[in-house]
Structures are given as structure tokens and as C-alpha cells.
Amino acid sequence: MSEATLLAVFEDIDPAANAIEKLHELGVTDENINVISGVPVAHKMLGRPHPPTNVSRLSMGGAIAGFLFGLFLNFGTPHLYNVPVGGQFFTPIPPGMIILFEMTMLFALLATFLGVFLDSDFPNYQPMEYVAEVSDGKIAVFFRCAQQEALKITETLNKLGAESVRPAEARQL
Amino acid sequence: MTVDLNLVGAKGAIAEAAEGKWGMSIDQDICTGCQACVAACAMENNISFVGEEDAGYGRSQHWIRIERFWEGAYPEVKATPFQPMLCQQCGHAPCEPVCPVFATPHSEAEQLNLQVYNRCVGTRYCANNCPYQVRSFNWRDYHTIPERGNMVNGTLVFPLHNQFNPDVTVRRRGVMEKCTFCIQRIHKAQDKAKSEGREVEDGEFTTACAQACPANAITFGRVDHPESLVSQLTHQKRGEKHLEELNTLPRVTYLKEG
Amino acid sequence: MSQKISRRDFLKLATAGGATAAVLTGCGPASRYVTREPYVKMPEYTYNGLSTYYATTCRECAAGCGLIVRTMQGRAIKAEGNPANPVNLGKTCARGQATLQGLYNPDRVEAPVKQARQQALAAEAMNWDDATQLVADALNNTNPAEIAFLMGTASDHLFDLVTDLTNAIGAPAPVRFGALSMFESRATLSKAAEKSLGQAGLPYFDLGNADLVISFGANFLETWLSPVAYTRGFAKMRRGNSKKRGYMVHFESQMSQTAAKADEWIPLLPGTEGLVALALGRLVAEATGGSVARVFSTVDVREVSIQSGIPLEQLEHVASLIAEAQAPLAIPGGQALGQTNGLANAEAILALNALADNFGKPGGALLSPLAPNEDTYHRPANAREMKDFIAKLNSGSVKVLFVHGVNPIFELPKALGFADALAAVPTVISFATFPDETALASDYIFPDHHGLEAWGYQRSATGTMQSALSGAQPVVSPMYDTRSTADVLIEAARLAGGKLAEALPFTDEVAFIQSKIASLIGRTDGSFVAPEINSFTSYFQQHGGWWKTAAESAVLSAAGALNKNLNVNAAVFAGEGEFFFVPFVSPTLGEAGANKPWLQELPDPMTTVMWNTWVAINPETAHELNLENDDVVKVISEAGEVEAAVYLYPAIHPGVIAMPFGQGHTAYGRFAMARLLESRLVGLVPRAGEVGDPFPRGANPADVLGAYFNEAGDLAFAGMKVKIEKTGEKQYLSRLESRIGVYGEGLPQEGH
Amino acid sequence: MAVASKYLPGAKQAHDTHHEEEDHKQYLMFDPKPRGEMNAMVMESMHTTSWKFWVVFGILSVIVAVCFFYAWGYMIAEGLWVAGVMRPSYWGIFLVNTVFWIGISHAGTFISAILRVFKAEFRRPFTRAAELMTTFGLIQAGASIFMHMGRVWLSYWMFPLPNERQLWPNFHSPLMWDLLAITTYVLGSTMYLFLPLIPDLAMARDRSTGWRKTFYKILALGFRGTEGEWRHLITAMNFFAFAIIPVMFSVHTIVSWDFAMAMRPGWSSTVYGPYFVLGALHSGMGAVAVVLFIMRTTMKHMDYFIRKEHFDALGKLMLMVTFAYTYFFFNDYIVQWYGGDVATDNLLHWLEEGPMAWMFFQMVAFNIIIPPLLLWSKKIRQTPWLLALIGIMINVGMYWERYIIIPVTLSINRMPFTWKLFEPRMDVFLTIGTFSMFLLFYMLASRLIPLIPVWEVQEGQMAHSLRKVGKAHVPTLSDFE
């Protein structure tokens, strides 16, 4: 069964939300729908499920790694070669707190940043389905459906206020 | 005596024994301020002179300087006793922990405050944190200022460089330096004693400043040996240490009048 | 993380150029391993081979301190005192420490040159053969009476050689001079000793055994006679007696470095020192209830108090100190002698010692013993003799003048006119090591070695009661194409033949020295005994000289000093100015230290000024004259004028201004001169000229001194009155001290 | 109240709703424009470059080349003697600049992170302008630290990297804490600048041609605006907003510890941490006012995005920060003043009566006395040029404050024999160099980066609406999250 990928462009959130509801009715599951927008649109508005993200987990992982690295710097490296300095503990705890904090934060921030890259598959310069109008505030819904249902869905969406519904084609952004 | 710096306890407890190892006493009552120590130090330690302008702007490189203040007004005016000020080789040195690259660590063997020129990157934090203000910085390559050399067959030669003490590093620009208690002499004496299978004797060697001092106001030796001359002088009633209240554990004792 | 690797590996590593900080841990079996350690140890932990040490004599002044010079690989590294030498007992002053900066000075005369009296060092090089021939011809072809030798106070062996030479050919005896001896007033001291102690010679004051020192202007901790020896004595006086701390009172119109170490500094008007001494003597005699000796009997204490400006109570207080002291000692020196009444001052002060009955006793006034190979004390020429010498030069009766070890154009007061007198001499041959003013004004410079490259000996004139001859030997081979003046003269004499060759029948300088110390062979009262000349010479070199092991002190009688009439006339001051002018020798530079950069960079002990000259003036006086620190003033006397920056010095008599001697060279190398800089961030006097042009660094106070002498013929250097004029310019004096922290500069003044 | 008012005599019975809407139109959030139009405005503002821009740009480039690169190179070759540093002021203007620029950088984080966390809506149009200040300011701060070092070519010895010297840096040293904190902050703030920039870069990508297209394409990383991408981005931005705040506080606190950890009179103070942070915000807010004024007056269409309301809000922030700063300043001062320690007494005596007293009192006037007097007035707050002027004044005052804390305070120590007044020398050129470089970077950025986060503005405009409560229309903010 061949599939078609269609892309419907809407002026506003409401018609887009309706369209998505309609699509659900027409048997297009959430897995086969994606929405592209120029501003972040809350999933509830469109009646979409909460999109999963690993970013927070990665942040946490980064924080732990950073903490461990801080531990290594402050409590490990002095043991690699011992240099005493006046009136200080060899591996002092209060200054260690600073090292631990900074390293934890640095690694957490780096991991978060990288998390965005990993989760969003950045950077990606491959041709992708996209319409430039999205950055003008339009909302694009693109979905996969069976080839034979494409026409029907197109008509339905047009009725719901889609500015255009057309087969999505991957192009160079 | 080595101190386990990993001991857990009050911060003061991990400081060295207040005594130290090598120490100095300076008798201000007989110091005549003659600058022989300053010259001797410069000659021994390859200290560069900086010229009139920089010297007047606080860039002189003296490792030891002689301070003098005034009390009263004419005719009852009095110059305060000359006070040679040099690195106090603190047991609890404020300069040491602030260096990011361990360029001024503490030597456990000598219990001295080292300055490792080749590690120094020139943040100058140590000098800021030194309450005695006895560190000097190489603001430029004073030794190789072209005006100090002669052109010989197209090459610049510096006759004054012949005088360099091979035991002491010649510092380049961007490096902090300070009195080392003539650590090169300490080492020489220690190794000589070791090869002869004995301890270094009191008075066997001394620092350049103490050696030159015509008044014998400077005495150098082991402050942890009660029978040594310096230790006996140090424990006189008129002995006083500078800024002791900062808990720096200075190793130089000043003997006052009286 | 240190790891042990074998020496073989280490060598591999080292050859591979690895930047490994390696430390050899001794020479025993332990050195089979080297420990690779991080960059945390100082390079000072490493070894650089063995040093060789040579004993020699310091030539920075005439005191004859023994030196041990550390050398390595043919280079002199460090000068230290010779612990065996009785003058300095292992100690040195700052100038002695910096002697290597003379040896390796970049401004030495590197080869014989035909100078032709140019202002800069001439490029016209000569070779030594021609130079020696030239000297030979000059000696040979000139009427001996028309040959003159002008020599410095060091070194003595050359003086002996020249004396032998001149004696043989019937030429006038060499004239010796030095600015230090001028400011020390050696002739006055010697004359006073003759009159009071009964014997001519240099008195020596045994500070170490005194418990009260009354010093009249004697700056014995600075440059006076033998500062290292006197500093040692001072320390012993202060702290040597565990029961009693020695006490010191110093009379001087400005607080010199020596005065600063006194427990009481009592300012007085210059020229009244002798009167004060007499007054003290009278007060002491009265206090102790004895009869007032004749010498003190005529003085009116109240009148002295008025003339000197010292309150009567203060005089009485000092007198009571003397009366209570076990071993009081009065020392004449400095500006007390540099007055028209200097000799009377000296006698009056010595009379105080006579009163304490300390002549020839420990803690008293002693007479320095003669050096081992000395028959009589040869005192350097005093200023009046120099004036006569200059007159002789001017008269045209000198055809050839040889100058060695002295720089009279700089050192003598301009008023004596030495520079002009040189013009009357057809041939001037200088043996200067450095291109100083006199050398540049000569026809030829045949450079002598630096003192550390040279042979010689120096008699210790004072500073120890052991008769001492301090030996000098080269510690390094000569840096440049220089030649020992003694060798030049010996060779020239050989070339000249005749009487000259007979007078100096030596193969070289060393042979001459050996002939002069031969009389000491076999003596058992000295530091070593040697049976014949070769071993004696090597011991002489090794020990750094020969000295008697025991102190010797002539028996002196105080009677002559007490039972005489002494008229201390009021000092006469030349000129119309409102200020007494007191020049003093810079304690750090001395007479010839200005070309040694580290001496320049040593702060003056009292003002902490570096690299320049200042005019010390009382702040109150300055305030009245609307003068501030660093204002350039013109100091004008009837003899001349100099310009220097003002230093508001809190410890100087309001009627006195003081200036250090030592700077103001118009030649003498790059460090003695200042240079116009491209950008002056610190304001200095604006000067005309190209960038890089040299100009005098500081000023020479000798330029304002007139030709006035005291009874002994010494210069009355403190006998001038001067005016000062503000020039409106500023010269920022480089000081080590903080103007803010020490003087509160920039902060609102309290109490003003 | 609204209910009662209609019974009051003279009260208008019928509301002029149209007028009311006009009233609200003065606020950006109630003056929405279609997204496409806003995009076009922003794009046009980037593309419209007058010859004046290039003249200024050229001059600044020359200044940067001479005063920054040449002067620095000369100083590296010659040694630090060409600068004013000496004993006892071993630290001089370079560290003044460092602290100053780190201070400036705090504004960006404060505005974009703290205001984001607290959902202060006026922040929306100028978060990016402020964040750019953070990044560019930190670049200058970092450069100044390296200028300060005696052997800058060995600065990598401070980095915690395994090396053949077998040594790790000394983590006891406040400078190491500083290094780590500033590194964290530079990286963090740059990432935090970049994340919200991605959608705008995608927008610019969609509207550009030629080299700009390629430029934006690379930078936009292939962002399309899918639900997932937005989700990851928003999550990350929320995390950053929270995480960067403690980092920001830690950075300036640690910078202050460089001083406070030293046992020097005037420096050793426990209040230095918050005092420095507030000082940083003080100068940062002032700098934001200046930047907004310049943006608004020199760039096309910016008067739409940056309005009086923003200056007003900024002015209120400045007022608040002034008070907080005053509190900490006084807290630091009175403790030192009251303590009576000799060294501190000497220092205060020096500061208030010494040759630099003018600077001290100017600092007090510029930072503490004058700003609150002026900022009370709504009229002044809403006059952009006046606010910018106050911003400049505060920054001069804050520069003086750092100058007093570093070289002037260093003049006084426990050894009166060494006291000496610092004289700036070639460091002045390098200071001019860093300032010029900052401006140059900003000018360059204004041509390359959308200075207005359009999507954030649109998001805000979508969230804002007028709700009728009784007779009045009151602004209402929806929370989409």
C-alpha cells in the first residue's frame, strides 16, 4: 500500500486544530502527523499528544558528568602530583564546592545544548519537507496517509480552511 | 618535619610548625641602612636594575629594601630604625594558594616559599596578596635592553651578563620573583654536608645579604635548632615579627632597640 | 607521578630534546637514577659545576678591604669580603659588592687610544707597542723636573713603583689625590693627631669598646676612612656588650645616615663643632668636680649655646652622659673638619677624648699602625697642595702629565681650575680604565686593567689596629686589550734605558711586587710565615695579603691635648648666600660609583633617591621659599652654580642645604649619564637635543665649592654660603620610598 | 471600583472603546502586526545600511587594529612596562576592564533569563540585544584578562588539561575558580544566545538569497519548526533560563572573590559577592538603555519594536537596581568605616581625601545619588535619549568604581613604604581598543543577526489580549504553557 505525504498550510491555529481533529477522524494517527509552525504552539491547542524529549534527561546526565569531573579536578588531580601551598588543605572542600558547581553547570548546559542537537537531529542540511510561509506565521500540518485517501483528505482540509493542501516534497531548505 | 596536609582538622592545625626551618633575624638596632645587603642580593641573584624612570615608578626589582620613616618634626625629628624588608618566607604564605599554576609552592624540605620562574605566567596575584609587598615583577626584559649592550661586529653583546650567577635563573619579562633565602646556597651547603655524611653546621654558609652586612645585623640559620645563633637571637625579648597577626608565620625576626 | 628511569633512558630523553625538568640528586650511588619531576621546583636546585675563589683587594676606595671573588669558567661571579682580612673581616659595603659592575661595565676603555682631548671616547686605536714606546719617549725626552704623576689613592703598589721611578730620575714625587680623602679631610685628621696625640698619622677611633660615642659630623657609617671597619665597630658598641647598650650622640647640621643611627641627633650650625666640644669638655669637667683643663678653660658655654643653636640644657644633658659613661669617645669628622676652622675643631674634639683619658686605650682614640712595608704615612694631597699642583700645571712647567686612578676634573672643585690647567700641559697621558672626564680630556688613554684583573697591594691606612698589607691578584683574565700601568712603566723604562731602566729592573709587575714584599719573608708575627719569596708570594695571594696577628697600639699621652690653649675661631663662610652649603659623599656611590648601574639603583639610605642628585632642604624653609618636592632649584655660590631637584628633608637645619657628591658626570659612561628619552612619562627637565643624547645625570656639588681651606690645607667644603633660586622646572626624583606613605603626599596634612 | 465609578458625578457613562484600544496600541503586545510584516521589518532593518554606518565601522576597525591588536602585540613583545602597572598596583586597568565587561555582560542574562523565568513580558523585543551584550562583553572581558597576564603565551598552563609538565592547575586559586566560572558563563551565555536565535535564523534563511542564504542556512541547522524541534528548544531554553541565573551570580561573585579572598585592606569583605553582582547589573542595565537607544535611533523599523514602554520598564529596573546597589555599597562601606582597622582607615582616608577623591565622589554621585533622583520621573524614563544618558552616566560611575577598587585601592596596603598612585599608560589605548571592538562586534551583529526575536514577539502578541471586565478592557495574558 503506497503512502502519500501531504502538507496542509493554515492561516491560524483554530483551523489547524480542526484539521488535525478531522485527520484523526479520518484515521490518520498522531504518529503520522507533524505540525510545523513559526512560533511554538502548545500541543494541547492542536489536540496533539505531548511530544517526547530527551533534553531534560541529557541535562541531568551532563550535570552528573560535570559533577564527577569537578570531583576529579578538585579531589583527583592534586593526587597526581602533590604540590603543597601555604596554609591550605591538600584537597580543600570549600573551594572544591566552587569547582563542583561550575563544572556541574558547565556540563549540564553543554549537555542541554547538545541535547537539542541530538533530539532535533541538528544540524541537518538534507532536503526536507517544508514551506517557507511557516516563518510568516502560518501553520503547516503534514501527514502521511494511504495514497487512495489523499484526495479525500485534501478536500476535507480545504473545506476546513486550509490555504493549500499539496503533496509534500522534500526540498533544500 | 613534614606535615600531612591532608589532616582533617581546624585550618590552623594543618599549618606548619610555627618555628619553620630556615630563618633569619635582623637586628634593627645595628642595621645602618648602608644598602650593602641590597647590593649583595642583586649581585648574587642576577637581579636586574630598571633605570631611573621605572625605579621611581615602583618597578625596582630589589628583593630586599630598607624602609625608613620619620617621627616628630625638626629639631626633635627622628628617623625610625632602618628596617630591611624581604620575603618573610611565611610558613602560611598568602601568596602561595592564589597562584593558578603552582608557580609559588611551598617547599616541604626547606619549609621555604619557592618561586618557580619557569612556571609563572604572570597573573601577579601573589604580589597583590603579599602583605609585605616584597615581590617584584619583571615588567620587561631589563637585562637585554639594547642600550645596555655594545655593538661588536654587528652583534649586540652585554658585558654585564658576564657577571650572572650560573646558579640563579635569569628571569625574563612577565615573571614574578622574590627573595629565595639564597636557596642555591642552602642546596650547595646541604649537598656538601650530605656528601661528607654530616648535618649542615650553623654558620657554615649564609645568605648573600647576611654575608655582606658590615654590621652583622643579619643572621641566617636554622631556627628549629635551639643552639643555633639565629635561634638564640630570635628568641630574645626584643624579637618581633611583622604582621604576625595575619597568621602568616613569618620566618624573619626583627630585633628592636632596647 | 614521579617515575624512575635509568640514566641511560634519561640521556636518551635529554638528547631527544625532551623538555624534562630533571634533578640530579647528588653524586653518590643515588645518581644512578634520576627522578623525573614536574615543573614545580626552582632551577636553583640544580648544579652548575665548581667555582674557584680568589683573594684580592677591593679598589672601590682606599680602605683596602680584602675580597674573595668567586669565579666560574673564567668569569667573576660574586665579590665577598675576605674573612681573614683584619680591615673588613669578611664584610663589604655596597660599593665593594658592586665592584663587578665595574669589571663588566660596558663603558670601559677597551684598548689604548689616541684621545687628542676629545669630548667623546676616540675611535683612533693604538697598539700597545706604540703606546709603550710613547711613554718611554715621554719619560726619556722630557726634563725629569717637567714630568708629573697624578695618582689616585689606590693602588699602593703603583704609587711605590712611580715613587721609585721619580726618585731615580729626579722627577717630582707623584701626587695622590681622591675626592674621598678630600671629604674625609685626611690632612686635618693627620695634623690634629700630630698636635694632640703627639704623632702624625691617621687616628683610629675604637668604637667597638666605647660605650658612649659623641660624633661631630663624622659620617663613619657611610664613606669615612674605612666604613666597613667602623660599621663593625658601631655594631659592637651597640650590641657587643651584653650588659650595656652603647649610646651615640651625633652633632651635625643635617641628619646623615650616621646621624640617623645615633640615639640623639643634635643639629647645630656648621662650624661650631669645636666650640661645642670645648663647651662639653668644660661642662663635663665641672660636673665631675675636677679642675677644668686649660684647653677648656676659656670657653663660654652660654655663648657656645647661642652660636651653635643648641639649647644649654641639651649641652648639659650630653655632658652628663659623658660624665656618666665608662668609655666615652668623641669622633671628629665630616663637615666639622671641612671648615676654615676645621683643624681647631678636630683638636677641640680630640681634647674631649683626652679628658676621658682614652688616648691609645681600648674604646678610645688610637693611632693607626703603619702598614708592614711602609716607612711613613703617605697622606694623599690635600686641596691646598692640589691648588699648588694646578698652579704648577698652569705655569707651563709640566710638559708631561701622567694621570692614573683619579678623575680630578670631576672630583676637584671647579674653582680650582684643573680642567683649564690641563690645557697648559702639552702631553697628558691617562691610564684610566673608564672614559671619565679627565681621561677624555687627555691626549692618550692607555687603559689599565680593572682592579679585579690586576696585581697589586694596598696598605690599610686605618680600620684595624693590626698592621696590614692587603694583596691583589687578577681573578679573571683581562676582558679587553688593557695593560697594567705598572707593566707599561716597567716596559717603558726598559725601552728608555739608562737611569730609568735601572730604577725599574723588573721583568714585570709581579716581580716588582715581590721586591716590595720581600722584607716580610721570614717574619713570624704575621698571618703566615714563608721562607722564601715564591712560597711567600703564593701565600700572599692565597691569604689575600699579609698582616700582623696582634694589634699594636702606640702609647699616647693626653697631656698635650689638654694642657694647651686652643682658640677655636669662628668659621669663615665664603659668599653672600643665606644658606650654609653642606656637600657630602653619597654613601652608595662614593666618589666613582656613578658608572655602576646597581649602585645608581641603590636608594640613598636617608632620602631613598635613586639615579639622581637632590638638594635637601628643611620643609619649613622650603615652605617659606615656596618650594615643593621636585622643584628644580639653582644653587648659586660665588664659585659657581648647579641645578638639582629639591627634596624636602625633615631632618636638616633650616639654615642649611645639603647635596650629595657623586653624580653630575659629564662623561664616565652611559650609566653615569642620563639620556634623552623619546617619551617622558615621568616629567623631567625639558632639555634641548636629539633623542638619545647623553646629558649629566644629576649635578656635581663640587661645582659650587670655592677654593677655601682650613688650617691643615684641607678644603673647607662646608664653608660656603649659597643662594637658591627656583627655576620653575620640575624633575621627578626617583625615590624608593612612598611619598604618600612616608610623607603623606597627596593627603591633607595634619597640623599644617 | 469599576462598578462604583459609574455612579460618580461626571463619570462617563459610555466608554469610548475605540479610544481605549488606541491607548493600548502604544504597547507592542497590543499592537500586533502580521508575522510576515514583522519579519520583513526585521529583515529590512538588517539590510538597510547607510554610508554613515560604514564610516563609523571603518573608523572603529582602524581603532581596533591599532589600539587592540597592534597595541597588544607591542605590549606582548615589550612587556607590561608599557602599561601602568607597578608595585603596589600590580593589577591595573586590564582587570578594571575585565570586571567592567563582565558587569556589562550580566545585563543580557538578567533580562533574558530572570525576566523570562518571571515572565516579564516587556523583555520580549530586546532579549537578544541584551544577550549579544553578554557574549560580546565576555569576549572583551576574556581578552582583558589575557592582556593582563605577564606571559600570555603560556596562558594554556591554566587550563586543566593533561600535559607533559605533569601538573594540573591549582584549584586553591581564586583565579582558577574565575577561569572555570567565566568559561562556563561564556559557553553558557553563547549557547543561550544561540538557542532562541535558531528560529529567527530559519526565518532569515527563508527570506534571503545569495551568500546570506548560505550563511543563515548553515546557522539555522535545518530548523523547520516541527513540534519536536520546538519542544526540545523550549525545554532547553527553560533549563537554560533557570541554570544560567546561578551561573551568572557565581561568575561575578567569583570575580569579586579574586579581590575578597586576598588579605588586603578594602578587599577582604564578605559582602563583595552580592555587591559586585548588583554593581554588574547596575552597569548592565545602563548599557542596555544605551544600546536600545542606539538601536531605536539608527536602525529602521526599530521604533515599532522598541517603545517608550520598554524604556519605562528599563528605567524602573534601573531604579530598583540602584537602590539594591546602594544598599550593598553602604553595607560594604560602613563596615570598613566603622571597623577602625589601621589599614582600612588608611585606605578610606586615601580614597576620600587623596588625589583620587574626585573619582570616589563622582562614583557616588553617578551611581547612587543622581540615578534615583532622575529615574523617579516617568517622563524621564520614557525619554529614550535621557535614559541612555543616565545609562552612560551609570557606566562611567561603575567604571570609576572598579578603577577605585583595583588600582586606587591597591595603592594602599600594610606597608606604607610602598604606597604609590597608579598612572594609566598604554592601558588606555587597550581600553579604547576593547570598547571599540565591542561596538564593532555589535555593529557587525546588527547586520547579520536579527536583533529582534520575532518569534518571541509574535508569541507574546498571541498571548496578549484585551478582556472586557465590566466596562473596561483590561490587558490579559494567557499562559500557553
- Which string of DSSP letters, residue by residue, matches C252-301? -SB--HHHHHSSEEE---TT-HHHHHHHHHHHHHHHHTSPPPHHHHT--H
CA distance B144 to B150: 11
Q: Is A47 on the interface with D (CB under 8 A)?
A: no
Predicted pLDDT of residue C36: 63
Which residue is listed with cell 604580589?
B127
- What does the mean pLDDT of chain D come to? 90
User: What number of residues does chain C have?
Assistant: 752
Residue of A35, A89, A125, A173 to mutate when probing chain D, most D C-beta within 10 A = A173
Q: What value does the mean pLDDT take over residues D436-445?
A: 95
Q: Is residue D49 part of a domain?
A: no
The answer to whether the Cβ–Cβ distance between D419 and C39 falls below 8 Å is no
Q: Pick the residue from chain C with its C-alpha nearest to D166.
A: C38
Query: With 60 as the cut, is the pLDDT of residue D15 above it?
Result: no
The answer to whether the Cβ–Cβ distance between D87 and B140 falls below 8 Å is no
The answer to whether the Cβ–Cβ distance between D222 and A95 falls below 8 Å is no
- Selected residues 146-165 of chain D with any CB under 8 Å from a CB in chain C: 164-165
Residue of A75, A80, A82, A85 to mutate when probing chain B, most B C-beta within 10 A = A85
Say if CB C201 and CB C367 are below 8 A apart: yes
Q: Is residue D208 part of a domain?
A: yes
DSSP secondary structure letter of residue C574: B
Given B33, B162, B166, which is nearest C104 (Cβ)? B162
CA distance C426 to C428: 7
Q: Is residue B235 part of a domain?
A: yes
DSSP secondary structure letter of residue B10: -
Predicted pLDDT of residue D330: 95
Chains contacting B (3 or more CB pairs within 8 Å) = A, C, D
Residue D297 neighbours by CB under 8 Å, 6+ apart:
D384
Residue C678 neighbours by CB under 8 Å, 6+ apart:
C691
What letter represents residue B253's amino acid?
T
CA distance D73 to D91: 19
Q: Which residues of A touch B113 (CB under 8 A)?
A: 86
Query: With 80 as the cut, is the pLDDT of residue C312 above it?
Result: yes
Q: Is residue D23 part of a domain?
A: no
> What pLDDT, in 10s, does the model give residues D164-216?
777 889 999 999 999 999 999 999 999 999 999 999 999 999 999 899 999 99
How many angstroms separate the CA of residue D135 from the nearest CA in chain C?
35
Query: With 50 as the cut, is the pLDDT of residue D452 above it?
Result: yes
> What pLDDT, in 10s, does the model give residues C192-229?
998 888 888 889 999 999 999 999 999 999 999 899 99
Burial B172-188 (b: 16+ CB within 10 A, else e): bbbbbbbbbbbbbbbbb
Predicted pLDDT of residue B7: 44
Query: With 70 as the cut, is the pLDDT of residue D6 above it?
Result: no
Q: Is C39 on the interface with D (CB under 8 A)?
A: yes
Predicted pLDDT of residue A151: 85
At C656, is the pLDDT very low, low, confident or very high (cuts 50, 70, 90)?
A: very high
Residue C6, beta-bridge partner list = C33
Q: What value does the mean pLDDT take over residues B170-181?
A: 94
Range with lowest mean pLDDT among B231-240, C22-31, C281-290: C22-31
Say if CB B46 and CB B162 are below 8 A apart: no
For chain C, what percentages of helix, strand and coil (3-state, to nearest 5) are there?
35, 20, 45
Predicted pLDDT of residue D18: 60
CA distance A159 to B18: 91
Q: Is residue D403 part of a domain?
A: yes
> What pLDDT, in 10s, does the model give residues C63-120?
999 999 999 989 999 999 999 999 999 999 999 999 999 999 999 999 999 998 888 8
DSSP secondary structure letter of residue C347: H
Q: Which residues of C touch B34 (CB under 8 A)?
A: 93-94, 221-222, 227, 231, 257, 587, 605
Q: Where are the alpha helices (DSSP H) in chain A?
A: 13-25, 55-71, 77-80, 93-120, 150-159
> What pLDDT, in 10s, does the model give residues C52-62?
999 999 999 88
β-strand pairing of B252-255 with B218-222: unpaired
CATH number (domain holding residue D259): 1.20.1630.10
Predicted pLDDT of residue C325: 92
The answer to whether the Cβ–Cβ distance between D226 and A101 falls below 8 Å is no
Q: Is residue B27 part of a domain?
A: yes
Q: Which residues of B touch D151 (CB under 8 A)?
A: 120-122, 173-175
Element spanning B168, H or E: none
Q: Is residue D456 part of a domain?
A: no
Q: Is D221 on the interface with C (CB under 8 A)?
A: no
Residue B171: give the domain boundaries: 11-255
In chain B, the number of structural domains is: 1
Burial C137-169 (b: 16+ CB within 10 A, else e): ebbbebebebbbbbbbbbbbbbbbbbbbbbebb
Residue C33, beta-bridge partner list = C6
CA C644 to chain centre: 23
Q: Which residues of A touch D221 (CB under 8 A)?
A: 117, 120, 122-124
Element spanning C5, H or E: strand C4-6
In chain D, the number of structural domains is: 1
Q: Which residues of B touch D144 (CB under 8 A)?
A: none
CA distance A147 to A89: 73
Say if CB C453 and CB C125 are below 8 A apart: no
CA distance C39 to C28: 24
Say if CB D347 and CB D259 are below 8 A apart: no
Q: Pick the residue from chain B with its C-alpha nearest to C67.
A: B212
Q: What value does the mean pLDDT take over residues C451-479?
A: 93
Max CA pair span of chain D:
88
At B60, is the pLDDT very low, low, confident or very high (cuts 50, 70, 90)?
A: very high
Q: For residue D424, say if its preceding peptide bond is cis, omega within 30 degrees of 0.
A: no
Q: Which of C186, C310, C95, C218 is nearest to C710 (CA)?
A: C186
CATH number (domain holding residue B244): 3.30.70.20
| The CATH classification of domain A3-48+125-171, taken from the options 3.40.50.2000, 1.10.10.60, 3.30.420.40, 3.30.70.260 | 3.30.70.260
> What pLDDT, in 10s, does the model give residues A59-75?
999 999 999 999 999 98
β-strand pairing of C400-404 with C147-151: parallel
A 10 A CB-CB count for D138 gives 25
DSSP secondary structure letter of residue C680: -
At D2, is the pLDDT very low, low, confident or very high (cuts 50, 70, 90)?
A: very low
- What does the mean pLDDT of chain C come to? 88
Pull the grid cell for residue B191: 649537598
Predicted pLDDT of residue C45: 77
HSE toward the beta carbon, residue C534, CA cutoff 13 A: 0
> What pLDDT, in 10s, does the model give residues B24-43?
999 999 999 999 999 999 99
Which residue is listed with cell 687578577?
C474
**C656 φ/ψ angles, rounded to the nearest 5 degrees:** -125, 140
Q: What value does the mean pLDDT take over residues D142-164?
A: 90
Element spanning B201, H or E: none
Q: Which of C557, C465, C562 is nearest to C197 (CA)?
A: C557
Residue D410: give the domain boundaries: 88-423
The answer to whether the Cβ–Cβ distance between A83 and C1 falls below 8 Å is no
Given C41, C261, C267, which is nearest B32 (Cβ)? C261
Element spanning D353, H or E: helix D342-353
Domains of chain C plus CATH, in order, are 4-45 (no CATH), 113-180+374-547 (3.40.50.740), 185-367 (3.40.228.10), 579-743 (2.40.40.20)
Predicted pLDDT of residue D140: 95
Q: Which residues of D touch A51 (CB under 8 A)?
A: 227-228, 231
Say if CB D451 and CB D295 are below 8 A apart: yes
How many angstroms separate the CA of residue D55 from the nearest CA in chain A?
34
Predicted pLDDT of residue C467: 92
Pull the grid cell for residue C612: 639622581
DSSP secondary structure letter of residue C652: B
Q: What value does the mean pLDDT take over residues D401-430?
A: 93
Q: Pick the residue from chain A with its C-alpha nearest to B97.
A: A85
- Selected residues 91-130 of chain A with any CB under 8 Å from a CB in chain D: 92, 95-96, 98-99, 101-103, 105-106, 108-110, 112-113, 115-117, 119-126, 128, 130
- Selected residues 558-617 of chain C with any CB under 8 Å from a CB in chain B: 587-588, 597-603, 605-606, 608, 610-612
Q: What value does the mean pLDDT take over residues C674-685?
A: 53
Element spanning D339, H or E: helix D308-339
Where exactly does CATH 3.30.70.260 map onto chain A?
Answer: 3-48+125-171
Mean pLDDT, chain A cut into blocks of 10 residues (173 residues total): 82 87 87 88 84 91 96 89 81 90 96 93 88 86 86 86 84 80
